[in-house]
């Protein structure tokens, strides 16, 4: 299934798919730019064609070098990233992109064990799928991740645009977290959604199922361990050395955000 185009990098323009019978857009993320990084040209072509027919603008790359070339051509909303790549592997790329507050990342790997998923999530991936994956499932995951990225840009009427707690400030519009020392702390899309779920429901016990619904959406089939992993990452990022516990584990029940939260303009 190799493409007649350059096997390293290709681009597929968005098509009119993703509209209903009246020509209205049914996918709020339609037109987003998705970069597929996989050294298998057959997978690149199949996924690029499928996502392109559903309204996404697609670029592809075969390794980290051609990925950087694609990123240099313009902003990318989401990267579908294979773990096993020649040269710099997907995990190293994921760590680097996340540290630079880069695009959302969905990782693909033939290694479908839970420990491999956990490593990917620990490094900042927003979601993780084992290979081979159903293109329709990948499409659903892409829509969910991009929707989570877009949601904070709209703030409910009458509600503040930021939350302050224990000296921290979470800007819901800019998706920016600042420490008590005014240092910006980078958050992945999943971490931001999870922290927002906590600060909007402070001092309440939230079960893992509730957190999955609030942070990932009801259509997600993410497993409980994913929430545990992201909470562990959030705890490390919210540790300013003061010794306070902002996210408390409530045994046999779930988690609670312990601080009082103030909404501000």
**pLDDT one-digit tens code per residue, 237-259:** 998 766 678 999 998 888 999 99
Q: List, for residues 94-122, the tens digit of each pLDDT value.
A: 989 988 878 999 999 876 566 666 777 77
The token pair that represents 196 in the structure block: 């927002």
* CATH fold label, 10-152: Rossmann fold (3.40.50)
Instruction: Specify the pLDDT at position 23.
Output: 44
Instruction: Give the domain ranges of the chain.
Output: 10-152, 155-264
Burial 211-244 (b: 16+ CB within 10 A, else e): bbebbbbeebebeeebbbbbbebbeeebebeeee
pLDDT band at 56 (very low <50, low <70, confident <90, very high): very high
pLDDT of 14 over the 50 cut: no
Do the Cβ atoms of 33 and 75 come closer than 8 Å? Answer: yes
Domain 155-264 part of CATH 3.40.50.620: no
Instruction: Specify the pLDDT at position 111.
Output: 67
- Cα separation values, 189 from 74, 99, 230, Å: 20, 13, 11
Q: How far apart are CA 18 and CA 30, in angstroms?
A: 7
For the purposes of burial, counting CB atoms within 10 Å of the CB of 71, is it exposed (0-12), middle (13-18) or buried (19 or more)?
A: middle
DSSP-derived pairing of the beta strands 127-130 and 104-109: parallel
Cα of 96 vs its chain's centroid, Å = 15
What is the pLDDT of the chain when averaged over all its residues? 80
Max avg pLDDT among 10-19, 186-195, 210-219: 186-195
More confident residue, 88 or 109: 88
Domains 10-152 and 155-264 share a fold: no
Max avg pLDDT among 20-29, 42-51, 179-188: 42-51
Q: List, for residues 63-74, the tens digit of each pLDDT value.
A: 999 999 999 999
Q: List, for residues 134-192, the tens digit of each pLDDT value.
A: 889 999 889 888 877 765 444 444 455 889 999 999 998 888 899 999 999 988 877 88
Instruction: Specify the pLDDT at position 41.
Output: 93
Q: How far apart are CA 196 and CA 193, in angstroms?
A: 5
């Amino acid at each position: 299934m190799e493409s007649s185009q350059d096997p390293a990098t290709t681009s597929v323009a968005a098509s009119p798919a993703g509209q209903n019978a009246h020509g209205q857009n049914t996918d709020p993320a339609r037109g987003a730019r998705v970069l597929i990084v996989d050294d298998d040209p057959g997978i690149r072509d199949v996924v690029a064609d499928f996502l392109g027919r559903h309204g996404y603008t697609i670029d592809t790359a075969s390794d980290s070098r051609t990925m950087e070339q694609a990123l240099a051509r313009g902003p990318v909303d989401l990267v579908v990233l294979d773990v096993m790549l020649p040269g710099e592997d997907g995990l190293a790329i994921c760590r680097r992109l996340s540290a630079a507050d880069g695009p959302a990342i969905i990782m693909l790997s033939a290694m479908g064990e839970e420990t491999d998923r956990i490593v990917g999530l620990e490094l900042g991936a927003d979601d993780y799928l084992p290979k081979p994956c159903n293109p329709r499932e990948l499409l659903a995951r892409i829509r969910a991740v991009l929707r989570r990225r877009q949601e904070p840009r709209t703030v409910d009427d009458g509600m503040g645009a930021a939350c302050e707690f224990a000296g921290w400030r979470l800007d819901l519009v800019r998706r920016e977290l600042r420490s008590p020392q005014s240092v910006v702390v980078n958050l992945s899309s999943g971490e931001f959604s999870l922290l927002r779920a906590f600060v909007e429901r402070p001092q309440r016990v939230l079960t893992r199922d509730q957190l999955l619904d609030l942070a990932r959406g009801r259509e997600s089939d993410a497993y409980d361990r994913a929430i545990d992993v992201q909470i562990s990452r959030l705890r490390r990022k919210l540790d300013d050395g003061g010794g306070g516990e902002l996210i408390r584990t409530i045994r046999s029940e779930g988690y609670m955000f312990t601080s009082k939260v103030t909404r501000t303009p």
